[in-house]
Each structure stands twice: as structure tokens, then as C-alpha cells.
Amino acid sequence: MVATALVCAAGLAVLGAPGVTYAAPGPTPDPRPSATTGGAAADDATRRLEAIRKEVEELYRKAETATDAYNAAGEQLRLQEKSVAELTQRLEEARKRMDTLRAQAGALARAQYRSGGFNRTQLFLSGSPDSFLGNVSLARKGEQATRRMLTEVTAAKADLERYTQAADERRKTLDAEKKKREAAKKEIQERLDTAKQLESRLADQEKERLRLLEEERARQAQDRWLSSDAAKWLTGRGSVTASGDAARAIDFATAQIGKDYVWGAEGPDTYDCSGLTLKAWAAAGRAIPRTSQEQWRQLPKVDVKDMRPGDLVIYYADASHVGMYIGEGRIVHAPRPGRQVTITGAGSMPVLGVVRPG
């Protein structure tokens, strides 16, 4: 498959996969400035870049957390809009029922008025037993019809009031979700703008050193993770291939390699991290929650040692990032703004845990 070919091609650059060496066409560039600039100056420049790297990474992390809040508010917004629409329909049905009952009650009242109402004297002065019993039966039916009408009118009025109150409450919730979404959007944009301003101040050569520094830190994190008790089993385990739904999800995710990260995006041309995993598993016929935080909260958790291709690896203490495990210590994920969907080491970021969609 095309996706499989993409995985193989991307594997050359994967961070720290067991049994994979870091092949490169030439010498690996040193992220530190040239020694010709002087030892002290080189150290200062490296420390400055490291500080910038940490600050930029933190800004993007906070933006991703806000993106989760934005996506969650969007989900709630859709649910509340649907709920309001359903309540509005019920409210309209209750109003129509109330109008119908009022019309029927009016017709009953007019009929009783025209007939002079119920006359007990006439009932007892009936000329024959049959006539007397017929009048009694008619009177009872009239009273029962009136009672039923009053009961239905009371119930319809209660439904109308309940639906009206519920619709008002849902609309207030809807407005609150809209405000939360706008606040999250504002926070995302502020974080991204600040990060971009920091990066824009760097010269091209510094930007490249910053990129290499990011890769080096990710590689070191992956190496530490692979040697940890949680993940060291990977190095002695044979390749585990995906099948069924997991294989279809991986094929979809890896087919998106090279597409830009855009916060809040669910494809088909751009993705954020949970938008990618959402659509990948949707392509496999499985519905999963929209955000990485809800994926962590709702999906079954599995131990890292039991991790298999297709599982979702959740990152950071606030569960604000997610990638799909594809085997051999690697994930495919949408990293952050300014980056593209790619394959990297599963331990290149702080792992919170693993969940299994199916």
C-alpha cells in the first residue's frame, strides 16, 4: 500500500526506534555554533538557543492545551445546538397541542352553554326509567369528557412551561460554550503569535540550529524512554504488525504524512494532533472522542508493555497531545504549528499513557 511505502521511507529518520540506526547522507550537523566564534561565545549562543527552544516549546504546549479546550467547546457547542433544536421542536409541538386543547375546551363550553348545561331537575323528572338512565349516562360522559379535557390542558401547560424553561437554560449553556470557545481561540492565537515572534527574530542559521537542537532533545528523550523499565521490552521484541481496523487506521494516518498542522483542523488537508487520530480511526470505522484529553479519559487504557500498533499514545500531564503508535517504538502524529504530520519516536515527549480505540 502507499501508506506502507510512506512508513518505510519515513523510517530512515525515525527517532530512536529499536534496531534502527540514524543514517544520514553526510556528517550530522552540530547544533552548537562554530568553535571559531570563541568558546565562551559559543556556549552563550547555545544557552540562548536552548532558552528560546524551551520558551517556544512551552508556548506551543500551552497553545495545544488551549486547542483541546477549543475543540472540546466545539463538541459541546454542537451537542447544545442539537439539544436546543430538539427542545425547540418539542416546544412547538406542545404549543400546537395546547392550542388544539384550548379550541376543544372552547367548543365543549359552547356546546354546554347552548344546551343549557347539566340540569339535575330534568334528570329526575324524566318520563321513564330508560330515559332517566340515558340522561344519567349522558351526564357522566359529559363530566368525564370535561375532566379529561382539564387534565390534558393542565398537562400540556406543564409541558409547555418545562420545555420553555429547558430551552432557555440550554440557550444560556450554548452562549457560555461560545464564550469559552472564543476565549480559547484568543489564547491560542496569542501563544502562537508570541512563539512566531520569538522564532522570527532568529537568523536563518540560528533557525536551523534551533531545529537541530529540537531534534537532538527529542532523540535524547527517545533513548531515555527506550532504556526505561516501561519501554525497554521494545528492544527485545520482534516487529508486531497491525491488522484489521488498526491497520486501516495506520494506513490512513501515515497517508497524511507531510500535511500541515493547523489547530482545530480535522482534515482532509490539515490536521491537529487529535484531529488526525480521530479521522484515522473513523476511516477504520471506529468513532472516538474528538480531543486528546477525552481520548485519554474515555478510551480503555493499556500498559505500555502491552502496546500494539494502532494504539494512541497520550502525552504530557494534561493529556494535551496524542500520536498513533505504528510499531518499533514509533508514532505518527501532527506535531505543532509550523510542522507537518510525521513519524517520530514514541518516547520523544513525556508519555502519560496509552489507550486503545478498538
Residues with Cβ < 8 Å from 167, sequence gap 6 or more?
84, 87, 88, 91
Single out the catalytic residue among 53, 321, 330, 336. 321
Q: Are the beta carbons of 344 and 15 closer than 8 angstroms?
A: yes
Single out the catalytic residue among 49, 73, 273, 352. 273
Q: How far apart are the C-alpha atoms of 335 and 340, rounded to whole Å?
A: 7
* Residue in 76, 85, 61 with CA at minimum distance from that of residue 289: 76
Beta bridge partners of 354: 302, 313
Is residue 128 annotated as part of the catalytic site, yes or no? no
Q: Are the beta carbons of 188 and 65 closer than 8 angstroms?
A: no
The residue whose grid cell reads 406542545 is 94
Residue 327, classed as helix, strand or coil, is strand
Q: Are the beta carbons of 181 and 21 closer than 8 angstroms?
A: no
Residues with Cβ < 8 Å from 352, sequence gap 6 or more?
296, 314, 315, 316, 317, 319
Single out the catalytic residue among 53, 170, 330, 333. 333
Is residue 321 annotated as part of the catalytic site, yes or no? yes
Q: How far apart are the C-alpha atoms of 357 and 285, rounded to whole Å?
A: 11
Beta sheet of 330-333, edge-to-edge order: 301-302, 351-355, 312-315, 321-327, 330-333, 342-345
Kind and range of the H or E element at 323?
A: strand 321-327
Is residue 273 annotated as part of the catalytic site, yes or no? yes
Query: What's phi and psi for 110, nearest 5 deg?
Result: -65, -40
Beta bridge partners of 302: 354
Q: How far apart are the C-alpha atoms of 288 and 277, rounded to whole Å?
A: 9
Q: Report, as residue numbers or ranges, the catalytic residues.
A: 273, 321, 333
